[in-house]
A and B are shown apart, each in its own frame.
Chain A
Amino acid sequence: MEMPQYDPNTKPEFELYTIPSHSSWFRWDDIHETERTALKEFFDGSSISRTPKIYKEYRDFMINKYREEPSRRLTFTQVRKSLVGDVSLLHKVFRLLDEWGLINFGAVSRGDDSDNRDSSLGDTELKNQVKIEEGAPNGVRVVALPNSLKPISVPNSGADGSGNGKVVVAGETGVKLPPLTSYLDVFGDLVKLKGFKCGSCGEQCNSGCYEYSKGSFVICEKCFKNGNYGEDKSKDDFRFSDLGGNSLTHGATWTEAETLLLLESVMRHGDNWELVAQNVPTKSKLDCISKLIELPFGEFMMGSAHEMNSSSCPTGSLNSLKEGQSASSENQNDVKMEDQVHDQMNESEQNGDAATEEPPAKRKRIAPLSDGGSSLIKQVAHISTMVGPHVTAAAAEAAVAALCNESSYPREIFDGDEDYLANGLLSPTMVSDPERALQVDASKMEENQSETQDASSEKNDVPLNLRIRTATATALGAAAANAKLLADQEDREIEHLVAIIIETQMKKLHSKINYFDDLELIMEKEYNEMMQLKECLVEERIDVLERALKTGVSKWRS
């Protein structure tokens, strides 16, 4: 705590300002060694524009200017207009005061201190240096559409659990994204906004809506037919407007097929964005570039595109990239299940008309979904749309069966009147080897079904809703458990990294301490030498005096 000396007639009471304890050498009416060494230009007498008096004036002005309003951060531009002198030199003084906390100590810190200055010891180093950025990096603003200048802010889902330093982008509200966010989670609202929401029933009006001509009210077709026009509105006031489907394929939404096209054309054409944009028909050049950057491995693509231009199989490399992602592990499970289902399908005639499906020998190489940005559920949905309906049904059965084995409740719902003995047999086999149990289970299901096909067709109607619900619930549960595992892993990694950082800091401090110890030793030695020298001199002096007295010199000058 440091109290400035104010005239008694200007301020009746003392104001208290906080400066860090390592700056307690500071005095208003004096210039400290720290300042002298840091700003030698003022103290070596090399110029009349740089004297201690001038330095003191600069310093006092800056500190007083800051203290007029301690909560706001004083910028260099605000002070330099009031001081005469070279701006580079003024900036040096400003930086010195800033680093030592004599100004801007209590102010809101700005986030874009991108130059990692070596702050003086004891300054809030850790807070400044260990910055883990969340959200968009500095200099990149997240906008709703490419080419629009309006930044959007993410609805704060309160995911501050990691407890690390948050970075606020200069000037505007920080775009803080919680970790493990997928693109659609954050921007799903924007995608939906492009469609219209019905004013009376609150649902999406996808194909067409009725617009109220006297205001901005929109209702969907259903409500229009039902007569739900809303208050005080009559049928004639509504106009039909067909949205078509073109609002959905706007610049911001990328479908899987387009992403795939983009990646293939980048592999082939590399840097030539004109050709890439031509190949991806609905997207402009800028869209392509920005989408590629957004993809998690987009950078690799742009670099490797040059190397792999001559490689034979672009999809092969895409596949390898895809498999490297952890999110796709479940995908592979689905793929495997589908392959097994193929086999089973042709072993038993399940629904009678299985002959139309692909023969088992041809293992269809499913086009890779290399878009890691979309959510898992969406990928599964995409796979199911790519194959025929019967295969999808079989895959769904198999998936449900796999999930069933993890908990017995859904099992009971699905096979209501089966003997529970079979249940008890099946559940223990599940735990370790899902695939084998899957086969066994699926074939068992098929047998049961072919036996009780008539009976089951009757039962199907009643618990259909329940079945769907339980299936989705278990699917979501499995996904959630997996996500938690991943999150735990990330946490552990973060802890590990933080421990490493702390260790290195400790080492740094240790080496500094050692250095200072060495310095002390050297100083001690020098001190001893000086003492010896002093003794020598004293001896010599005594010697001289003795001789002078001996020869009886009465008057001697010292």
Chain B
Amino acid sequence: MKLPATSSSKAPVKFRMPTEDNLVPIRLDIETEGQRYKDAFTWNPSDPDSEVVVFAKRTVRDLKLPPQFITQIAQSIQTQLTEFRSYEGQDMYTAEKIVPIKLDLRVNHTLIKDHFLWDLNNYESDPEEFARTFCNDMGIEDPEVGPAVAFAIREQLYESVASAREIKISKKGRRGAEHAISSKGGGNALDLMKLFRYNSSVVRKRKEWYVYEPIVDILSNEEVDALEAREDRNTR
């Protein structure tokens, strides 16, 4: 009697980040008067909105940006927060869903590429803890790498739950959890049935190990400059 677990027996949960701390990833990319400010951090949505302006002012002061940035930063943060809050009223799909997370980021002189699996339904997961373990194990000394890794994970998780929610809304007519699993953003979710079958092993074949292995590169100054120039060209 093999029922695919109790995927629909859990009561639906209000929308939130599927991690232990409900922190929203905020990304800023503002350009004014020839100056560009790029940043990425996490925000606690239960903070009062007045904090946004305070934060914007402090940031501008610390980084010595022209004052026009204050309103733009505050606006950008507010927009992203409002978007998050608009999802909050709805229910979130709570079936188990294991998604692959790919990391491909550069922080100062460190280049990181990684690929691993994450359970969207695990509300006790902690990207920050993962980032800490990662930096410790790989012996990374740059203290800015950890938060960047955690942020990248959070961003991907946020995208996954947000898109899942949208699909659910558009498919309101359908019934049954099984349907939803298979029709959910196709390539994203892993087919649990196939992976965790009774007679298959959860240990990967050796030749696949390199796919899921993290790669950490320390770049020289010239390489960093070259990569930055390329990134700027791409985003314009």
Contact = CB atoms under 8 A, between A and B. Distances in A.
Given A61-B203, A81-B213, A76 B137 contact: yes
Nearest to A77: B137
A119 B5 CA distance: 33
Interface string B110-145: 000000111100101110011001101111010100
A158 to B, nearest CB: 28
Given A49-B192, A51-B196, A86-B98, A80 B203 contact: no
A38 B118 CA distance: 20
Nearest to B138: A77
B120 to A, nearest CB: 9
A77 B214 contact: yes
B210 to A, nearest CB: 8
A318 B202 CA distance: 66
Given A57-B202, A77-B214, A84 B195 contact: yes
A49 B139 contact: no
A47 B141 CA distance: 38
Nearest to A60: B203
A57 B136 CA distance: 26
B136 A86 contact: no
A476 B198 CA distance: 79
Interface residues of A, number: 32
Contacts of A110: 136
Contacts of A88: 118-119, 122, 124-126, 130
Interface in A310-329: none
Contacts of B202: 54, 57-58, 83-85
B193 interface: yes
A57 B196 CA distance: 12
B97 to A, nearest CB: 10
Contact of A47 (B96, B126, B129, B198): B96
Interface string A40-56: 00000111110101100
Interface in A139-185: 139, 141, 170-171
Interface string B129-173: 110011011110101000000000000000000000000000000
B212 interface: yes
A82 interface: yes
Nearest to A169: B141
A75 B216 CA distance: 15
Contact of B5 (A46, A87, A89, A171): A46
B122 A89 contact: yes
A75 B198 CA distance: 28
Nearest to B127: A88
B4 interface: yes
B196 A83 contact: no
Nearest to A113: B136
B38 interface: no
Contacts of B118: 86-88
A34 B23 CA distance: 33
B130 A87 contact: yes
B213 A86 contact: no
Interface string B26-38: 0000000000000
Contacts of A112: 136
Given A47-B5, A87-B116, A139-B143, A81 B212 contact: yes
- Report which residue of A48, A58, A76, A112 has the largest number of chain B beta carbons within 10 angstroms of its beta carbon: A48
Contacts of B192: 47-49
Given A82-B212, A88-B119, 8 more contacts: A48-B196, A49-B98, A49-B192, A49-B196, A77-B134, A86-B98, A87-B118, A170-B136
Interface of B: 4-7, 96, 98, 116-119, 122, 124-126, 129-130, 133-134, 136-139, 141, 143, 192-193, 195-196, 198, 201-204, 206, 209-210, 212-214
19 contacts: A46-B5, A47-B7, A48-B196, A53-B198, A54-B196, A57-B202, A75-B136, A77-B133, A77-B137, A80-B116, A81-B210, A81-B213, A86-B119, A87-B117, A87-B130, A88-B124, A88-B125, A88-B130, A91-B129
